[in-house]
Amino acid sequence: MSTISSAAPVIADGLRKSYGAVHALDGVSLSLNPGEIYGLIGPDGAGKSSLLKIIAGVLAQDQGELTVFGTRIQNERDADKVKDRIGLMPQGLGQNLYADLSIEENIDYFGGLRLIEKQTLEERKNLLLQATRLDRFRDRPMKNLSGGMKQKLGLVCTLIHEPRLVILDEPTTGVDPVSRREFWSILSRLLKEKQITALVSTAYMDEASRFHRVSLMHSGQVLASGVPSELRHLATGCMLSLNCDDPQQQLRIVNEVQPLFPQLEVLGNEVRIFSDLPAEQAIPELAGLAACSELAPATETEPELEDTFIALLRQKYGASLQNSPTGQSAQIDVADAGHAIEARDLSRHFAEFKAVDSVSFQVPQGEIFGLLGANGAGKSTVIKMLTGILTPSDGAGWVAGADMRTAGMQIRERIGYMSQAFSLYLDLSVTENIRLYGGIYGLSESRIRERMSWILDMAGLRPYANALTAGLPMGLRQRLALGCALIHRPSVLFLDEPTSGVDPLGRRAFWDVLFRLSREEKVTILVTTHYMSEAEHCDHIALMYAGRVVADASPEQLKKNVQSEAGQLLRISGADSAILAQSLQDEGFTSAAVFGPHVHLFVQDVAAAERLIREKYAHSDAIRISPQKLSMEDVFVHIVSRLEKQTQAPAESKTADKPVVTMEPV
């Protein structure tokens, strides 16, 4: 673990904050080193936002000591002494911006608030607009920006007065993976250039690699703090992997293994199991189970930070991962064969704008199908056409055997739809929401009672049956929304970013339900998501870009395709990551990108690349080079970045001697 500098910009000791009977912070302590990016990682309600607001001086702690830039903060007057050295970017896309003002007008407004002299403001504005690639959009109103552009503008407005500490509250929630990587690249570069310290919260566990150090938070407490790579091994036990490509055998493994090893998930062909036992005991125990005996023995693998986080919750707090089984009594009538969903040259135009351009794909019955793409790629528009909400401009589609153009209510009776916008009534109880949806679908009272019992068990909501929906954690709300979408026993389920804002435990439980629905009840599921780790759960993926499907294969096949085209992904450690990344780019490694203290890059010839890097840094014995397994985020960013590059410079792309692989847009 890193040694804390005596000149730490922030030192918090035993901070406590309560809202009535709710303890938002319960004895939180941490210290920041100058110039580092420090991450607060945890679910909604963990206390991250309260901690950030206290450090920013907009909220007072109830107990504990806080020192910011050497000033002990005890009251509002103390906080005012350091506010000019702090920049705060609140949670939510564009929450610190003004919708009707242009990009330039927003920046000028924030510069005026900070009393920045006009010439200095112009110089800083021009530099930041160029760094964020917003320069050519100066006159565009904020309300017309994409999610990624809003976040970049928010960052510019936060940095315009050159603070010494920037505080960013979940800056990438709801932003697509390409924009997320670009945001982190820009932030790392700007912070390095200006020697700024950053304190950042996130619910994305996979963003931990962006930070120099992190604190894992849950229920107002810090579970653990340290360097991300070290935290992965804090939980007692090991991570095991089984390879199984048969869906029904995967289900048998889940049913047989989960009672013994509750922390289990299926990712494509891989069944990942966290065991509280050491590997030498767990592997033989798994091999003795009937469902696993036909497979090659489990192998030990590296846990992800999310695996460790969930294991710590189980081991320290007894947090449960198990859901009640979905049950065979609710078996859904589906066709034995054929495609549950088919899109054939679907198009949708809004005036001159082509939101969807000749999209085609097929989804077999009982498959989990992922529809991925950046903000504005056309995913939600495709779903709205297939569900009959929007009429296509051209093309055709069939859902559950019904033609979407002519079926009308026939489609609605056969599908469940969970939209991006939350679809529950927060002032109704759990059972009242279920009854309401039962009535909407025309179910009889006896049928509603039967389905309500199934939903309460399926979603683990029986203890909360009479609770107001507004008081439920986000994960339970989403499972209630899923239950309401399933109340009429549809054979096809559409989910539009169903787990946005849901904590890791809630997401795991939600996907366990989806896995059982697809495998046990043969429900076909079409899902969109910005969590690339969730894309690993899908049997098949279609990736959309600018209204078109540009990749269509299983997650494993997509990874193989990208590796064949781009080469091996390497992680370089042991030197200043920002300087190292720039130096590698100057040497021709155009894909070099900063990941906290590491640099990631694709190379075609591993031996040649390692030799060149070692020669370049012959003076540094600390340089470490290790191969990395491709993630779905790597796949997504590579494909979309390549397409963006071709769109921006088609002539250059055609004449290039070899493919230029970029991990980030440049």
Count of CB atoms situated within 10 Å of the CB of 581: 28
- For residue 478, the one-letter residue type is Q
For residue 14, pLDDT over 60 is answered with yes
**Is residue 409 exposed (0-12), middle (13-18) or buried (19+ Cβ within 10 Å)?**
exposed
pLDDT (tens digit, 9 = 90+) per residue, 438-474? 998 889 999 999 999 989 988 888 889 999 998 887 7
In degrees, rounded to 5, the angle at the alpha carbon of residue 13 between the alpha carbons of residues 7 and 80 is 65
pLDDT average, residue stretch 153-176: 89
Give the side-chain half-sphere CA count within 13 A for 636: 28
pLDDT (tens digit, 9 = 90+) per residue, 588-600? 888 888 776 788 8
Give the pLDDT score at 42: 83
pLDDT (tens digit, 9 = 90+) per residue, 322-342? 444 444 334 444 444 468 999
Pairing of strands 213-218, 221-226: antiparallel
Give the pLDDT score at 505: 75
In degrees, rounded to 5, the angle at the alpha carbon of residue 177 between the alpha carbons of residues 382 and 186 is 140
- For residue 575, the one-letter residue type is A
pLDDT (tens digit, 9 = 90+) per residue, 117-152? 999 999 999 989 988 888 889 999 998 887 778 888
Gap between the Cα atoms of 639 and 661, Å rounded: 9
Sheet strand arrangement including 368-373: 415-418, 492-496, 524-528, 368-373, 540-545, 548-553
C-beta separation of 567 from 591 below 8 A: no
- For residue 247, the one-letter residue type is P
pLDDT average, residue stretch 428-439: 94
Residue in this structure with the two tokens 């962006």, named with its chain if needed: 210
Gap between the Cα atoms of 328 and 319, Å rounded: 27
pLDDT (tens digit, 9 = 90+) per residue, 611-654? 888 887 766 667 888 898 888 888 988 898 888 878 765 444 34
Q: Where does the pLDDT of residue 214 fall: very low under 50, low under 70, confident under 90, or very high at 90 and above?
A: very high
pLDDT average, residue stretch 654-662: 36
Give the pLDDT score at 247: 86
Q: Where does the pLDDT of residue 659 fall: very low under 50, low under 70, confident under 90, or very high at 90 and above?
A: very low
Q: Which pair of tokens denotes residue 324?
A: 């009640």
pLDDT average, residue stretch 398-424: 79
**Is residue 625 exposed (0-12), middle (13-18) or buried (19+ Cβ within 10 Å)?**
middle
In the chain, the domains with their CATH numbers are 10-231 (3.40.50.300), 238-302 (3.30.70), 329-553 (3.40.50.300), 557-655 (3.30.70)
Q: How far are the Cα atoms of 141, 147, 237, 504 from residue 308, in angstroms, in the given order? A: 43, 30, 10, 11
Gap between the Cα atoms of 456 and 298, Å rounded: 35
- For residue 354, the one-letter residue type is K
Give the pLDDT score at 357: 93
pLDDT (tens digit, 9 = 90+) per residue, 222-277? 999 999 888 888 889 999 999 998 888 999 999 999 899 999 999 888 899 999 99
Contacts of 324 (CB under 8 A, 6+ apart): 457, 458, 460
**Radius of gyration, alpha carbons of the chain:** 25
Which residues share a beta bridge with 373?
544
- The torsion angles phi and psi of 179, rounded to 5 degrees, stand at -65, -35
Which residues share a beta bridge with 26?
16
For residue 658, pLDDT over 70 is answered with no
Give the pLDDT score at 620: 63
Q: Which pair of tokens denotes residue 288?
A: 């003795």
pLDDT average, residue stretch 69-79: 93
Quick one: which H or E segment has residue 49? helix 48-56
Distance separating the N- and C-terminal Cα atoms of the chain: 33
Mean pLDDT of the chain: 85
For helices 474-485 and 445-458, angle between their N-to-C axes, nearest 10 degrees: 140
pLDDT average, residue stretch 408-426: 78
Give the side-chain half-sphere CA count within 13 A for 220: 14
Which residues share a beta bridge with 274?
239, 263
Query: Whose CA is closest to 494, among 505, 502, 504, 486?
Result: 486
Give the pLDDT score at 72: 95
Q: Mind giving me the DSSP string for 345-391?
A: EEEEEETTEEEEEEEEEEEETT-EEEEEESTTSSHHHHHHHHTTSS-
Q: How far are the Cα atoms of 137, 644, 645, 657 from residue 650, in angstroms, in the given order? A: 22, 10, 8, 14
Contacts 24+ apart (CB under 8 A), 465-469: 465/429, 465/430, 465/431, 466/429, 466/430, 466/431, 467/429, 467/430, 468/426, 468/427, 468/428, 468/429, 469/424, 469/425, 469/426, 469/427, 469/428, 469/429, 469/430, 469/433
Q: Which pair of tokens denotes residue 35?
A: 């110039």
| Region class of 115: left (phi > 0), else alpha (psi between -120 and 50), else beta | left
Pairing of strands 10-19, 165-169: unpaired
Q: How far are the Cα atoms of 44, 74, 221, 393 from residue 83, in angstroms, in the given order? A: 26, 14, 26, 53
Gap between the Cα atoms of 491 and 157, Å rounded: 48
Q: Which pair of tokens denotes residue 384?
A: 């709205």
Quick one: which H or E segment has residue 625? strand 624-628
Which residues share a beta bridge with 102?
141
* % of the chain residues with pLDDT over 70: 91
C-beta separation of 38 from 214 below 8 A: yes
Contacts of 598 (CB under 8 A, 6+ apart): 209, 571, 572, 573, 577
Quick one: which H or E segment has residue 624? strand 624-628
Gap between the Cα atoms of 169 and 411, Å rounded: 41
DSSP letter for 144, please: G
Query: Whose CA is closest to 355, among 343, 347, 345, 363?
Result: 347
Gap between the Cα atoms of 56 and 60, Å rounded: 10
- The torsion angles phi and psi of 379, rounded to 5 degrees, stand at -60, -50
Give the pLDDT score at 619: 64
